[in-house]
Amino acid sequence: MRDRPWWLAAALSGALMVLAGAFGAHALTDRLTPRLLAAFETGVRYQAWHTLALLAVLAWRATMPLAGQRLALGLWLAGIGLFSGSLYALALTGLRGLVLVTPVGGLLLIAGWLVLGASVLRARDEHPP
């Protein structure tokens, strides 16, 4: 299984996302300001959507591997780490400097989508219907 590391990364991201969501819902609601709790929840939400995207692309790769799919997966994983991770850290520590990392993570998430789109367009040009 050539994509085993990607599947493991997606599974780990899913597990961490559920843990973070449960932690936020049960342990942080009374400890954080509404603004910090919202930041934490935003991190969980973006991690959830991009973990689902990881799984979808991995399933798609099983039947139609495209050159840009792995790059998109890597960009999303890095984006999850920086975007969601910085929001989790901001909420838990209150260190405002961490918000400088969040946009970098967001750009990586966007770049993953653009790379995926470009790889689809490239494949369409190479193999017309």
Average confidence (pLDDT) over 64-72: 94
Residue 127: left if φ>0, alpha if ψ -120 to 50, beta else—which one?
beta
The predicted-structure confidence for 77-111, as pLDDT tens digits, reads as follows: 999 999 999 999 999 998 888 889 999 999 999 99
HEC string of the chain?
Answer: CCCHHHHHHHHHHHHHHHHHHHHHHHHHCCCCCHHHHHHHHHHHHHHHHHHHHHHHHHHHHHHCCCCCHHHHHHHHHHHHHHHHHHHHHHHHHCCHHHHHCHHHHHHHHHHHHHHHHHHHHHHHHHCCC
User: Is this model's pTM higher than 0.85 or not?
Assistant: yes
Q: In the chain, what percentage of residues exceed pLDDT 70?
A: 96
Mean pLDDT of the chain: 94
Average confidence (pLDDT) over 16-39: 95
pLDDT for position 122: 87
pLDDT for position 72: 98
Average confidence (pLDDT) over 61-67: 92
Domain boundaries, the chain: 4-126
Average confidence (pLDDT) over 69-78: 98
